[in-house]
Every structure is written in C-alpha cells, then in structure tokens.
C-alpha cells in the first residue's frame, strides 16, 4: 500500500467502528481496548480455562472478575461455524490456532454499513452495545507500524466461508490495496477490517464518540470529544 493508497483509504473511511459489550466503556477508557489474549494475560487466566476462551467458539460472553482489575466481559464469537471455518483454512492451520490468532487482535470496521450488519444480525439485534467511533487518521498516525488490514470479515463463516489464513492480515506497507480495488471496483471495499495486534492501550486518545446502541438505534451518547477537550464522561 502506497501513501496515496492510505490517503484514499482514510478519505473513504474517516471513522472506524468497534462494537463492545454494553457497559464496557469505563473499562476500555481506563485499560485501553485490549485483545482477548491481552485480557486473559491481565487477569491471569491459564490452562484449560484459557483454552476455552482463546481456542474454542464462545457461544456467549465470558465474564472475568478480579479484585484488583475489576470486571470485564469478553464478547462471544458465536457467528463462527467451526465446521465451515475448518474448510476455509489451509490444511496446515488448525482451527484452534486460527482462533488464537483472532483473539490476539482487536478489530475495527471501516464502514458504518458493516457495523450496521453486525448490529442487525439475529444474534445481536435485541442486545445493547457500546459502539466506539474512532478517528481513523489519529489511530493510524499513532499505530501505523502495528496496524493490519483484512479484505474479508475474518470472524464469520456465513453465508459462505471465504478462504483465510495468516496472510489474511497484512501490515499497511504490505497490503495489496490497489489489487483489491481492481477486484472489487472503485466503489467496492478494498479493505473490510482494520486490525491491531494486542490492542490499543491509548484508544481514548483516538475516540470521537461512544454511543450505546440497540440494533440500529442510538440510545444517547456516553462520551464525545469536543474541540476544547472531552465531554460526556
């Protein structure tokens, strides 16, 4: 990806979106937006309990509680169909390793349309969520060397399991942006996900708004950046 490609991407996607569990914003503000693996590290989860979180499908959210760290909720990954996922991976990549790879990253949508599809999915449309709206240029300026891009929704297998593997995620410098533009057309999605391994400890510095949502309905504003500083909590 060239600098011109990156400029084009940021002009098309000035705001990134992350859907978090309802009530997660105070913890995210204080701890940063951490990957699942970073959270289980922080909470000292080991052995079988850790494998169930990192290397298996989570049909529901997982609550972690610690007297010093407080309470956090790890989201489910229910949209994954393990059987279909196995068919989408190369033969030398076990499903468990792919799940660990996903759990080592945090994910942002590059379009509000993608966010809307997730919020409107049958599994989530009646649930409440904290949606982070992130300034894309600010995040890229701070974390460009670590950021990766994906041309697919790496966390779903329906309606069909797009092929995927370790090279699904490419650093900005290595991402074939122009190639995906040619394949999908000028108005298509040359990238679908923006991904940060480990997480974004300073995520609060890059957020524009935090919005509680249920389906496609905004239910107020939890926090909003204003020109003179921060407001709303």
Q: What is the pLDDT of residue 233?
A: 52
Total domains, the chain: 1
- Residue with tokens 């399991």, as numbered in its chain: 161
pLDDT greater than 70 at residue 229: no
pLDDT greater than 70 at residue 53: yes
pLDDT greater than 90 at residue 212: yes
The whole-chain average pLDDT of the chain stands at 94
Condensed to tens digits (0 to 9), the pLDDT of residues 6-36 reads 999 999 999 999 999 999 999 999 999 999 9
Helix/strand/coil (H/E/C) assignment for every residue in the chain:
CCHHHHHHHHHHCCEEEEEEECCCHHHHHHHCEECHHHHHHHCCCCHHHHHHHHCCCCCCCEEEEECCCEEEEECCCCCCCHHHHHHHCCCCCCHHHHHHHHHCEEEEECCHHHHHHHHHCCCCCCCEEEEEEEEHHHHHHHHCCCCEEECCCCCCCCCCCCCCCHHHCEEHHHCCHHHHHHHHCCCCCCCCEEEEECEECCHHHCEEEEEEEECCEECCCCEEEECCEEECC
pLDDT greater than 90 at residue 42: yes
The stretch 146-168 carries a mean pLDDT of 94
Rounded to 10 deg, the angle between the 136-143 and 3-12 helix axes is 150
- Residue with tokens 């999908």, as numbered in its chain: 184
pLDDT greater than 90 at residue 160: no
In terms of DSSP bridges, do strands 223-226 and 199-200 run parallel, antiparallel, or are they unpaired?
Answer: unpaired
Residue 42 half-sphere exposure, CB side, CA atoms within 13 Å? Answer: 23
Condensed to tens digits (0 to 9), the pLDDT of residues 170-205 reads 999 999 999 999 999 988 999 999 999 999 999 999
Model's pTM, two decimal places? Answer: 0.94
Residue-range definition of the domain harbouring residue 208: 3-231
């Amino acid at each position: 990806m060239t600098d011109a490609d990156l400029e084009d991407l940021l002009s098309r996607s000035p705001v990134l979106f992350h859907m978090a569990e309802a009530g997660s914003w105070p913890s995210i503000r204080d701890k940063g937006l951490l990957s699942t693996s970073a959270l289980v590290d922080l909470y000292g989860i080991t052995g079988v309990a850790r494998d169930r979180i990192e290397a298996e499908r989570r049909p529901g959210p997982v609550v972690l509680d610690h007297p010093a760290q407080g309470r956090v909720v790890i989201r489910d990954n229910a949209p994954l169909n393990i059987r279909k996922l196995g068919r989408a991976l190369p033969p030398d990549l076990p499903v468990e390793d792919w799940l660990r790879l996903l759990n080592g990253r945090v994910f942002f949508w590059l379009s509000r349309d993608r966010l809307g599809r997730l919020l409107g999915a049958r599994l989530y449309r009646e649930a409440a969520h904290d949606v982070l709206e992130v300034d894309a240029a600010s995040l890229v300026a701070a974390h460009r060397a670590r950021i990766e891009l994906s041309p697919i929704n790496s966390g779903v297998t329906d309606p069909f399991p797009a092929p995927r593997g370790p090279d699904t995620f490419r650093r900005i410098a290595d991402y074939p942006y122009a190639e995906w533009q040619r394949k999908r057309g000028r108005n298509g999605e040359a990238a679908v996900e923006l991904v940060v391994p480990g997480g974004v400890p300073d995520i609060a510095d890059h957020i524009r708004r935090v919005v509680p949502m249920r389906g496609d309905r905004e239910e107020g504003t939890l926090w909003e950046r204003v020109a003179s500083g921060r407001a709303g909590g």
